[in-house]
Amino acid sequence: MTKVRILPEILSNKIAAGEVVERPASVVKELVENALDAGSTKIIIEVEKGGRSLIRVSDNGMGMGHDDALLSIERYATSKIYKDEDLFSINTLGFRGEALPSIASVSKFTLETRSAGEPSGIKIDIHGGTIKKVSEIGVPQGTLINVRDLFFNTPARRKFMKTINTEMGHIGDIVSCIALAWPEVHFRLIHNGKTIKNWNSVSNNLERTIDILGSEFRGNLNKLEFESSEISFSGWTANSNINRTTSRGIYVFVNNRFVKDRVVQHALFKGYTGRLMKGRFPAAVLFIKIPPDQVDVNVHPAKNEVRFIRHQEVHDLIAEKVMEALNQADRPGLTQAKDTNKSQVIVPETPEKHDAGRINNLEKHRPAVSEEICTYIGPSINETQDLIKKPDILPEQETLWEKKIFGDMHIIGQFRGTYILCESQEGLILIDQHAAHERVVYEHLKQQALTKKYSSQSLLIPENLELNYQEADILEKMLPGLKAAGLEIEPFGGTTFIIKSLPSIFSNKSIIPMIMEILEKTADIGVKQGIEKAFDESLIIMACHGAIRANHLLSNIQIKGLLNQLDKCENPSCCPHGRPTWIKWSVRFLEKSFNRIV
């Protein structure tokens, strides 16, 4: 007797069901995708007890005739693939020919359908993969599928199902994902007889997106758009202040198919570089259109993964366009408030006449500011003197051509020596001086490194740096990059190095703790991830150590210098760690808070 045997059809369908039908949400996904492939414009999903008792999906699509309906429940039967070449040019959502027989093999399954032009429809009853009855019925055009008692004949699978709320949550998520990509289709989701969500068809995809993502995204989404002969994509990226602790806020669609793709996710992260704190994820909706023969959708049984043929090109294009969209969003429409604006709040410049407390410009109580801070957050000494003589006069050409955002704001003062308060026509702007200066210093150091025009200061007495073997090995790899940023370190035998010169901003600062932090961070992320990433992390640490700290009082001239330099930054809205540099309290928010408006 042979040991190798052909599996019975019902058993092989159950095995296929294990791949395709993971949980009730998997059933909903397969049935809704089939409905969309049938050209439906209205799809109703009814669920009872989180899909345990019933999953019913009805549509107004093209439906099926008698023979097609019977074939559709046979394994490997499909209307979407006819020849070998079709496998590499899939342009439909469902195509395997496994979904219906797999679902029917682990449930009490009923199919009702009628195609256009047919006088009557067909009803097929299947119990655990066995056809019980085929009958002729009167039904409208389209298809209705009932899936009852899912996994009733596979108790091992049924016991792994989660609570009703958990399973319903997965169903809600998958329907929301599909609805995002098909705004022209009307979707209704019903649970235990109660409508959970009703998405009417809309022509504006933005409205469907906000409806599904949540109202907090209104006004916080940045348009993405790119088109070429090979690839096009559109969608929205959320401002970096709206982020998540997981990747659940990332929705990626390839030819209207919801997928989870590492290439695209990595591209999004690269586009958000410097805008998110560690452990945070961006929120984005991205629709990618690509020729079917340029992407493999047959990677995973559930069809939720894809493989791009030209993956590097896809990655780089998305990263570039996301960064461009965020860079544009980082420059808010803040304009200088006029004196005639009734909502303007003016704090007197002379503290002797009005006691404005710590929030005002307390020049006579302010400690001296070191030269290196003036270099980065304020003008030079000569420029300072000119500004004192003519504080309100700007050259006509600068006013005409140079549009400033931060530099044109009215400076109110500081709060607790940490936050800079400014006024714009739109409201009150609060700036974290450390985060803002950190961004300025980071971009300054990065630009110096790129152009190799760094400004450094030689030490009269070089400092010794004693390291262990691992630290010495890391530092040796990073010496050229650090030198390009103005930090010159040379080997001195064994694991000893000498520090010969520093960037100008680090004069009078302890440099060894900063270098040790750089080495620890590089050891943590690993040099194998790329010397470029390690070097960028080094610049972030250098910017943090070089920036002014909290509880440091600044003059209005220094604040003005910081704001002007913030205008020149590529990404002025976030520090290199991803923390926001500024927040806005709109006039409307303030007036509502004080009950001036309702």
- Residue-averaged pLDDT of the chain: 79
Within 8 A by CB and 6+ apart from 511, the residues are 463, 487, 499, 502
3-state secondary structure of 436: helix
Determine the pLDDT at residue 298. 61
Q: Same domain for 51 and 73?
A: yes
Q: Give the least confident one: 168-177, 406-415, 534-543, 563-572.
A: 534-543
Integer Cα distance of 250 and 260 in angstroms: 9
Report yes or no on 571 lying in a domain: yes
* Mean pLDDT across 563-579: 89
In 480-595, where do the E strands start and end? 488-491, 496-503, 582-586
Q: Give the least confident one: 5-14, 65-74, 80-89, 144-153.
A: 80-89
Host domain of residue 571: 357-437+550-593
Determine the pLDDT at residue 273. 85
Report yes or no on 467 lying in a domain: yes
Q: Is the pLDDT higher at 139 or at 215?
A: 139
Instruction: Output DSSP code: residue 593.
Output: H
pLDDT exceeds cutoff 90 at 295: no
Q: Is the pLDDT higher at 382 or at 402?
A: 402
3-state secondary structure of 20: helix
Residue 48 pLDDT class (50, 70, 90 cuts): very high
Residue 532 pLDDT class (50, 70, 90 cuts): confident
Determine the pLDDT at residue 44. 97
Q: Same domain for 170 and 136?
A: yes
Determine the pLDDT at residue 209. 92
Integer Cα distance of 109 and 105 in angstroms: 8
* Mean pLDDT across 330-349: 38
In 467-586, where do the E strands start and end? 488-491, 496-503, 582-586
Q: Is the pLDDT higher at 62 or at 15?
A: 62
Q: Same domain for 170 and 224?
A: no
Q: Same domain for 230 and 161?
A: no
pLDDT exceeds cutoff 60 at 504: yes
pTM, entire model? 0.65
Determine the pLDDT at residue 512. 86
Q: Give the least confident one: 57-71, 244-258, 348-362, 413-427.
A: 348-362
Report yes or no on 293 lying in a domain: yes
In 416-523, where do the E strands start and end? 419-424, 427-432, 456-466, 488-491, 496-503
pLDDT exceeds cutoff 50 at 563: yes
Contact yes or no for 128/152 (Cβ under 8 A): yes
Q: Same domain for 18 and 155?
A: yes
Within 8 A by CB and 6+ apart from 390, the residues are none
* Mean pLDDT across 183-204: 94
Report yes or no on 397 lying in a domain: yes
Contact yes or no for 543/536 (Cβ under 8 A): no
Contact yes or no for 545/487 (Cβ under 8 A): no
* Mean pLDDT across 113-119: 92
Contact yes or no for 56/148 (Cβ under 8 A): no
Contact yes or no for 304/24 (Cβ under 8 A): no
Task: Choose one of 184, 199, 214: the last residue of a domain.
Answer: 199
Q: Same domain for 473 and 428?
A: no
Distances from the Cα of 100 to the Cαs of 30, 66, 303, 342, 432, in angstroms?
A: 8, 16, 15, 67, 58
Determine the pLDDT at residue 178. 94
Rounded-to-5 percentages of helix, strand, coil across the chain: 40, 25, 40
* Mean pLDDT across 162-179: 91
* Mean pLDDT across 373-378: 39
Report yes or no on 542 lying in a domain: yes
Integer Cα distance of 391 and 375 in angstroms: 19
Report yes or no on 346 lying in a domain: no
Determine the pLDDT at residue 570. 86
Among 78-87, 93-102, 506-515, the range with the most confident prediction by mean pLDDT is 506-515
- Integer distance in angstroms from the first to the last C-alpha of the chain? 85
Percentage of the chain lying above the pLDDT 70 cut: 78
CATH of the domain at 388: 3.30.1540.20
Integer Cα distance of 425 and 356 in angstroms: 22
pLDDT exceeds cutoff 90 at 60: yes
Determine how many CB atoms are found less than 10 A away from the CB of residue 207: 14
Q: Same domain for 391 and 273?
A: no
**Beta strand 186-191 pairing with 42-48:** parallel
- Locate all alpha helices (DSSP H) within 214-310, ordered by sequence: 262-271
In 504-561, where do the E strands start and end? none
CA angle 486, 489, 493 (to 5 degrees): 170
Q: Same domain for 361 and 420?
A: yes
* Mean pLDDT across 502-529: 78
Task: Choose one of 199, 220, 243: the last residue of a domain.
Answer: 199
Residue 62 pLDDT class (50, 70, 90 cuts): very high
Integer Cα distance of 139 and 203 in angstroms: 30
Report yes or no on 343 lying in a domain: no
Q: Write out the two tokens for 173.
A: 């998520």
Report yes or no on 187 lying in a domain: yes
Q: Same domain for 21 and 110?
A: yes
* Mean pLDDT across 373-389: 34
411: closest CA among 274, 300, 562? 562
Strand arrangement, sheet containing 456-466:
456-466, 496-503, 488-491
- Locate all alpha helices (DSSP H) within 38-146, ordered by sequence: 66-72, 99-105
100: closest CA among 51, 146, 164? 146
CATH of the domain at 28: 3.30.565.10
Q: Same domain for 138 and 88?
A: yes
Task: Choose one of 181, 199, 217: the last residue of a domain.
Answer: 199
Determine the pLDDT at residue 83. 46
Question: For the chain, how big is the Rg over CA atoms in Å?
Answer: 32
Residue range 340-369, pLDDT digits in tens: 333 332 232 333 333 333 335 333 333 333
431: closest CA among 409, 452, 453, 449? 409
Instruction: Say if residue 100 is exposed, middle or buried (CB neighbours under 10 Å; 0-12, 13-18, 19+).
Output: buried
Integer Cα distance of 11 and 378 in angstroms: 76
pLDDT exceeds cutoff 90 at 453: no
pLDDT exceeds cutoff 60 at 528: no
Q: Same domain for 324 and 363?
A: no
Distances from the Cα of 430 to the Cαs of 155, 347, 544, in angstroms?
A: 59, 15, 20
3-state secondary structure of 234: strand
Determine the pLDDT at residue 1. 56
pLDDT exceeds cutoff 90 at 138: yes
Domain count of the chain?
Answer: 4
pLDDT exceeds cutoff 50 at 109: yes
Determine the pLDDT at residue 223. 93
Determine the pLDDT at residue 338. 33
CATH of the domain at 273: 3.30.230.10
Percentage of the chain lying above the pLDDT 90 cut: 37
Instruction: Output DSSP code: residue 580.
Output: B
Contact yes or no for 413/570 (Cβ under 8 A): no
Instruction: Say if residue 272 is exposed, middle or buried (CB neighbours under 10 Å; 0-12, 13-18, 19+).
Output: buried
Residue with tokens 């429409």: 333
- Written as one letter, the residue type at 100 is L
Q: Same domain for 151 and 270?
A: no
Integer Cα distance of 112 and 485 in angstroms: 70
pLDDT exceeds cutoff 90 at 25: yes
